[in-house]
Each structure stands twice: as C-alpha cells, then as structure tokens.
Amino acid sequence: MGEIVGYESAFDIWEALRTVYESSSIAPIMGFCSQLQKIKKDGLTVSQYLAQIKDVLDNFAAIGEPLSYRDHLSYILEGLGSEYNPFVSSIHNRTNRPSIADVRNLLITYDSRLEKQTATDHLQLIQANVAHLSINSQNRHPQWQQHNRSSIRSSTPSVGSFPSILPNPL
C-alpha cells in the first residue's frame, strides 16, 4: 500500500499501481522465455511436448503478453531433435501459413511414422545381429558342431530298440 500514499485522485493511484506492477512484469516474461527455450521433445510424446509449450504460452497470455503465431511456431520447431529436421524444413518451406493446430496434427503424424520406422530398423538390426552371432558360433566350433551332430545321431534310438508292449501276434 505504500505505492499509493500521497496520491489524491483515483487516476493518480491507478497510474502509480500500473507503473509499479507493469515494471516488475519483465521478470516473469524473461522467466517464461527461458522456460520455452528449455523445453525439448527429448523422451516426451508429441502431446506432452506441445502441452508443456502451451502451459508456458498460457502464462504469457495470463500476464497480458500473448506470443505471436510466429513465436509460437518457432518455439515448437526449435525444441525438436535432429530426427525432425525433414519435418521442420517442410514447415519452413510451405507457401501457405499452417495453423498451429495443423502443425500439431502434422507433427503427430510425422512422429508416428518416425516411431514405426525406428521400430522396424531396430528389429532388422536385431535380426542381423542374431544371424551374425549364429554364423560366428558355427565357424568358431566346427568340430564341436560335428561331434554334436554325430552324437545326436548315435544316441537316437531306432524303432527296433524299444521293447514292445504289445502282445506277440500268433
């Protein structure tokens, strides 16, 4: 209340309060900018990533400093990893101006495709490693492989080696 002592009109009081609180609002703005710059998609789903950005953007709007479309889009694209470079380039090179909702939907689609390709690549890598290990194992122990094959053949009983439980035919 010390900010309004000495003022006589309502206008002067409101001007004093506006000046006091407006000048201190630069700190939250800088804090929100810092938060936006630190948000990265690393390990987050697209929805989680975009929700974090939206939370900070809502804070900007709450203090009367909403960010522009261009800033909003820039923060979305800047937090993506290098695996999203083709996506970022496609957005930058568009002749029309996609809405933030369109960018969100395109990003979800791209991310889904990227995850599918990554899973396929991992599976192929695992299959190649298993095949490589199998070939290396056979090449390292050829005499062991041969010994095992012959011992399996010699230890496999023939049909005539089992006693019959059926009665002898007459």
Cβ–Cβ < 8 Å for 81, 42: yes
- Tokens for 63? 């203090």
Residue 18 has pLDDT above 70, yes or no: yes
Stated pTM of the model: 0.58
- Tokens for 50? 């975009």
Residue 64 gets the label, from left (phi > 0), alpha (psi -120 to 50) or beta, of left
Check residue 99 and give its pLDDT: 95
**Band of pLDDT at residue 128, cut at 50, 70 and 90:** low
Cα-Cα end-to-end distance for the chain = 120
**Band of pLDDT at residue 8, cut at 50, 70 and 90:** confident
